[in-house]
């Protein structure tokens, strides 16, 4: 077939209409079990643990709201849906602000550790786990560590170490 030739298919299309609306979309929350608190190279940090508790509490309030919004999309009036969406967005803003405070606190605390001296903020944000933060950092002995800072205990555990060249 050359470029100037066009082909038209005649396929009958039937549009079916229904007087009943489709059932609402339903989604259920999937709970991930919390891993055990790791042993640490750094001492526990009560401030960090308290902030993590706040963050976890707010996160647990957000998820049911999000699911409720999705499930009510087709069943509620526009006004009520907009009102609930605004409530959810306000809660989400509170959560993001608290998360930002938590990350700043975590960053400052991690820099005080004897071995763990640098925290790459982007990787902290991208690799955030359900319970703790999975972080990477260049250690003083020239290794690049990957591990988890547990929010519950505020403790650091290395899960992998590799040698790095220069700045890493």
- Ordered per-residue pLDDT tens for the chain, 168 residues: 555 555 555 555 555 544 554 455 444 444 443 333 333 434 556 677 777 778 788 878 887 887 777 777 767 777 777 888 888 888 888 888 888 887 777 766 655 543 333 344 433 333 333 334 444 444 444 444 555 554 444 454 555 444 444 444
What pLDDT score does 30 carry? 46
What pLDDT score does 25 carry? 47
What pLDDT score does 61 carry? 81
CA distance 87 to 158: 39
- Domain residue limits, the chain: 46-163
CA distance 47 to 105: 8
Nearest one of 144, 150, 139 to 35, comparing CA atoms: 150
What pLDDT score does 70 carry? 76
| 18 contacts 114 by C-beta, under 8 angstroms | no
Can you state the angle between helices 46-72 and 78-111, rounded to 10 degrees?
Answer: 160
CA distance 94 to 97: 5
What pLDDT score does 129 carry? 38
């Amino acid at each position: 077939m050359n470029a100037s030739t066009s082909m038209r298919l005649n396929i009958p299309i039937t549009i079916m209409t229904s007087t009943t609306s489709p059932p609402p979309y339903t989604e259920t929350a999937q709970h991930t079990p919390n891993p055990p608190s790791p042993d640490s190279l750094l001492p526990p940090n009560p401030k960090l643990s308290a902030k993590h508790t706040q963050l976890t509490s707010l996160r647990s309030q957000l998820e049911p709201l999000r699911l409720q919004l999705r499930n009510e999309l087709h069943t509620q009036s526009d006004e009520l849906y907009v009102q609930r969406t605004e409530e959810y967005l306000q809660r989400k803003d509170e959560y993001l602000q608290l998360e930002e405070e938590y990350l700043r606190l975590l960053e400052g605390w991690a820099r005080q550790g004897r071995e763990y001296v640098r925290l790459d903020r982007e990787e902290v944000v991208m690799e955030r786990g359900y319970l703790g933060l999975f972080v990477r950092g260049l250690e003083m002995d020239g290794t690049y560590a990957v591990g988890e800072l547990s929010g519950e205990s505020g403790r650091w555990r290395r899960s992998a170490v590799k040698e790095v060249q220069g700045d890493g």
